[in-house]
Chain A
Amino acid sequence: MFYNVISELTRQYVYKLAESGKRRDGRVLDQFRDITVQTGVIGTAEGSARVRLGKTEIVVGIKMQPGEPYPDSPDQGVMTTNLELIPMASPYIEPGPPGAEAIEMARVIDRGIRESGTIPLSDLVITPGEKVWVLFIDIHVLDYDGNLFDAGTIGVIKALENTVVPAKDYEVGEENFPLKIRNIPISTTFVKLGKVIAVDPTAEEESVATSRLTITTDLNGDLRAMQKGIGGGFTLEEVETCIEKSIRFGKQLRSLLWEKPEDVVTPEEG
């Protein structure tokens, strides 16, 4: 458990505020915090991005190296996603191997990227059956104030967009070349505060939330990944409303972070 320890008074206060449509940091329920993204921040990485979502701050680094494909998928590259909740990010995080929270977040982010075909694994093949690119996505959490799902997804896309495949360095190609991204998935995370639902939770809100729902949508507004978390439940109507909002937020965030999102992606050949 790395969530903040919160007093019962604060919990009640957060719920009460939420019921009147307000939040502790002055936002309304359907409002994301400010996002700033900086790319190419790590020289030793093939691609990188630093994302600040309110007071949450993460760095995403992409490393690539040639390796062998899995025996059951000889014509596909390998992509792994890892998320590190390091103790510097919050007083409630302890050192050690990734816990269930970090694993869940990494896997949900991974699912959105993978299932939307942002980087089709067939793009990562060097010699079919023999040599493929192994792509490591590492998300480092520097300052934890909630909603790593959404900050993480944005960070990963921005870092991938900025990745240069080190073909020449590893002597598997003539030149290093930029990695193509084929889609822009955006995830939006909702929490239930008492009876109402708020988007983009802070660490405090996550700690008092009774339920959580993450929805990842693609450029078309189709669903690519979903995850319900924390105890509690969502009604059918609530899920449908969240999906609607998620598609809307996805569009907004895409146009906020990319001038022309459609131009950023390269359609898949064939």
Chain B
Amino acid sequence: MGSPKEDITLIDEKGRRLDGRLPNELRPIKIMAGVLNRADGSAYVEWGNNKILAAVYGPREVHPRHLQNPQKAIVQCRYNMAAFSVQDRKRPGPDRRSIEISKILSEALESVVLVERFPRTTIDVYLEVLQADAGTRCAALTAASVALADAGIPMKDLIPACAVGKVGGRVVLDLFKEEDNYGEADLPIAIIPRTKELVLLQMDGHLTVEEFKEGLKMAYEACEKIYELQKQALLEKYTKRKDDLLDKETVEKFLERTEIPSEKTELEGGEGGGEEEIEAEEIVEEEEEVPEGEEVEEVPETELLEIGEEFMEE
């Protein structure tokens, strides 16, 4: 947190912020799954002016060997900022900040990945910040869980993340750079939407308990929105964007045989448990038509989410 500056008005009389947003408004977010070729899974997130790539490798052998855990897989996240991602060139390589972020992101991801299934292995998540405009750890984590799902790694749920902060005496959602620099507090969080548990929670700055509660509520609501975008990104890769992945003929056959519901309504209806199950079955049916191995891997995702629930009840 930077020091508050008197001479900058971060919120005008109408309650608009410097970039024209309302206090509880997110920046525009775009999420794409499966953007890299070599990685087992990948995702790209554009979040305001943040541009972040996530790649997943694994489960694979752990190096050095002594890090391996005979009971479960380890999740190793590497958050890295490109030298050109910020105004003043950043010295390449890990600094204390990125080591800390890597650690907390690894821990957040470990809480949703079914690590018990892959003992003695590592799941490596590489997060590259190509362009930074505050809130990179949240954007990176949002991308990371999409990339993990894209890699077919069984998980309890995706993890949407978002920050709230205090700017000009008001609690606002999703700070961008100027607000981050001159604001009074920053509170990044990430949740498991199915259980509402917090898996990432940091804070610095100055907040009263009331402001904290208000901010947390705001961030929860935003996370739910981001969660929908994450699911949409995955659905998109395995339905609409088929033509990028398979040859035309297969795609046409596939499209003829399956009715693809418009994702929008499909997703909005996904709130209740019953409806969600129907949605899941439909996806399973669709996927069965596809001969590619990669897609078959994706099918278990919804099943695995159920397994995940059982697992958590234990």
Contacts and interface: CB of A to CB of B under 8 A. Distances in A.
A115 B103 contact: no
Interface in B79-107: 96-97, 99-100, 102-104, 107
A236 B216 contact: yes
Interface string B187-220: 1000110011111111111111100110010001
A226 B208 contact: no
Given A114-B204, A223-B206, A224-B204, 20 more contacts: A76-B3, A100-B99, A100-B100, A100-B102, A103-B103, A104-B103, A111-B204, A115-B1, A115-B206, A121-B3, A222-B209, A224-B206, A226-B202, A227-B203, A228-B198, A231-B111, A233-B198, A233-B199, A243-B209, A243-B212
Contacts of A76: 3
A221 B209 contact: yes
Contacts of B46: none
A118 to B, nearest CB: 12
Interface of B: 1, 3, 67, 96-97, 99-100, 102-104, 107-108, 110-111, 187, 191-192, 195-209, 212-213, 216, 220
Contacts, number: 98
A103 B196 contact: no
A232 interface: yes
A247 interface: yes
B283 to A, nearest CB: 27
Contacts of A226: 187, 201-204
Nearest to B67: A1
A239 B104 contact: no
Nearest to B192: A233
A243 B201 CA distance: 13
A218 B207 CA distance: 10
A233 B200 CA distance: 8
A232 B100 CA distance: 17
A116 B3 CA distance: 12
A252 to B, nearest CB: 17
A229 interface: yes
A264 B143 CA distance: 47
Given A104-B104, A233-B111, A223 B209 contact: yes
Given A229-B104, A240-B213, A222 B199 contact: no
B204 A239 contact: no
Interface in A105-133: 106-107, 111, 114-116, 121
A62 to B, nearest CB: 19
Do most interface residues of chain A lie in helix, strand or loop, or is the interface mixed? mixed
B85 to A, nearest CB: 18
B202 A227 contact: yes
A44 interface: no
B196 A235 contact: yes
A247 to B, nearest CB: 7
Contacts of A233: 111, 191-192, 195, 197-199
B204 to A, nearest CB: 5
Contacts of A228: 104, 198-202
Given A235-B198, A236-B198, A236-B216, A224 B205 contact: yes
A223 B215 CA distance: 13
A107 B204 CA distance: 11
B69 to A, nearest CB: 9
A115 B209 contact: no
A230 interface: yes
A26 B263 CA distance: 56
A167 to B, nearest CB: 24
Contacts of A218: 206
